[in-house]
Each structure stands twice: as structure tokens, then as C-alpha cells.
Amino acid sequence: MAKLPTSTEDDVSAFLRKVSETPAPAAGAPGERGRLIFAMDATASREPTWDQACQIQGEMFSETSTLGGLEVQLIFYRGFGECRASKWAPNAKELLRLMTSVRCRGGQTQIAKVLDHAKREAEKGKVNALVFVGDALEEDIDRVCHKAGELGLLGVPMFLFHEGGDPVAERGFRELARLTGGAYCPFDAGSAQQLRDLLSAVAVYAAGGRRALLEYGNNRGGDVLRLTHQMSGKG
């Protein structure tokens, strides 16, 4: 069996650099929390990564607590045409409750529905970022890209974490990131710490912008510190 590609330091560096170069979220009212939509593929192939995400999602909240906090909305798709979104979760306990109630089921991707939902939410109120975790793109790429472009016009960057080595998905995900002003990064099941750090980095960006992201790198140390030092954005 061929070995799937993993994130290299260059991949992660490029991802974090793109995050640092993304325009800072618009300032909200004093004390207003950052808002992040967390989209996940819950088709059958995704169960191991779903379980992994359940274990690490809490760090998105803990890393943003000093920045005014974070609200996260879960959206997932699975089965035959099923795509559901939760209410906004104000803490890790509530998001974990939502995520552990979901069971992965066979089906095709529904990324267009995710983008439609994110657009509706952004039209109602501030959304600082959309995170997507998945391994495939089984839809008409032109249709999905059009919807991504509409989301980009609303100022919502999409940060895509790609598991596996599907070249069709990679091309599509990179284009979605470009159209929304976000970023793309591959990962695999063996890079749990990397995924944890990258999810936290986007959460910190959503809550506090580029300056907070760079400070996060300084406080985190290790790989994140080394990679954030390579960023060109000074925010």
C-alpha cells in the first residue's frame, strides 16, 4: 500500500504564513467573541479523524480565552444528502457534546452546502473564519468555487486541512483557499499534534488577528515558534 503524504515543515510554514497574511478580522463590539465555523466531513472514511478532532477541539477555546474567547459552530455532512449545523457553542464542553453525538456514515461530499451555510451566517453577523477538515471533493468544482468566491466577498477566509493524498481534492481545496483568502495544509492521522497546533492557530487568528497569532507562536514554542518566525506578516 502506498504511503500517504504527510505535512512537511514547509507545508505548515506556508500555511501559517498564509494565516498571518490574511486580513485581520473586523473589530467587533467590546468583549465580543471571535466566531469560527468548524466544518467536518462525517462520511464513513472520516471516523478516525472525527474521534481525533473530538479530543483536541478544546484547545481552540483554551488558546483564545485571553483574547475575549471564541464561539464555534459545528457543521457536518454524511449519508445521503444530510448536512447539519449546530448552534454556536460558547465552550469546549458544549462543542464536545455536539461532536460526540455524531456518528460517521457513508456518503459523498457536500462542500457546496457548507459554503451556502457559511454565507448565510456571514450575512447575518460576523464570521471570522471557516475551518474545513476532509479528504475528498466529489462535487462540480466550478460550482463549489463560485460559492467560495461569494464567501470570499463577505470576508470569510476558509482554512482547509486535507487528510490523504487525493490530487483532485488537493487542487480543489487549494482553489477554495485562494478564492476566500484563506490557506490550505495537508495532514495525516499521524500528525495529531500538528493538527492541534494548526487548529489552535486559526482559532487564535479568529479571536485576535495576526498579532495574537504571532504571540501564540512565541508562547507555544517548538515547531510553532520556529514556523511563525518565518511568517512575513507582522500584523
* Residues 5-52: tens digit of each pLDDT: 455 666 666 666 666 666 655 544 445 789 999 999 999 888 888 888
CA distance readout (Å), 234 to 17, 48, 75, 98, 201: 10, 36, 32, 36, 15
Nearest-angstrom CA–CA distance, 44 and 23: 35
pLDDT (0 to 100) of residue 67: 76
- Distance in Å from the first CA to the final CA of the chain: 44
Question: What is the predicted pLDDT for the residue at 36?
Answer: 94
Domain boundaries, the chain: 32-228
DSSP letter assigned to residue 24: P
pLDDT at 233: 39
Angstrom distance (rounded) from CA 105 to CA 44: 5
Mean pLDDT of 217-225: 64
Q: Is domain 32-228 given the CATH code 3.90.420.10 in the classification? A: no
Of 5-19, 41-55, 90-104, 173-187, which gets the smallest average pLDDT?
A: 5-19
Please tell me the distance from the alpha carbon of residue 186 to that of residue 155, in angstroms, as a whole number. 23
Q: How far, CA to CA in Å, does 198 sit from each of 11, 83, 93, 102?
A: 11, 25, 20, 23
Q: What is the tens place of the pLDDT at every residue in 113-137? A: 999 999 999 999 999 999 999 999 9
Separation of CA 62 from chain center: 16
pTM here is 0.82
The radius of gyration of the chain's CA atoms, rounded to the nearest angstrom, is 16
Above 50 in pLDDT, residue 4?
no
Rounded to the nearest integer, the mean pLDDT of the chain is 82
Task: Grade residue 201 by pLDDT with cuts at 50, 70 and 90.
Answer: confident
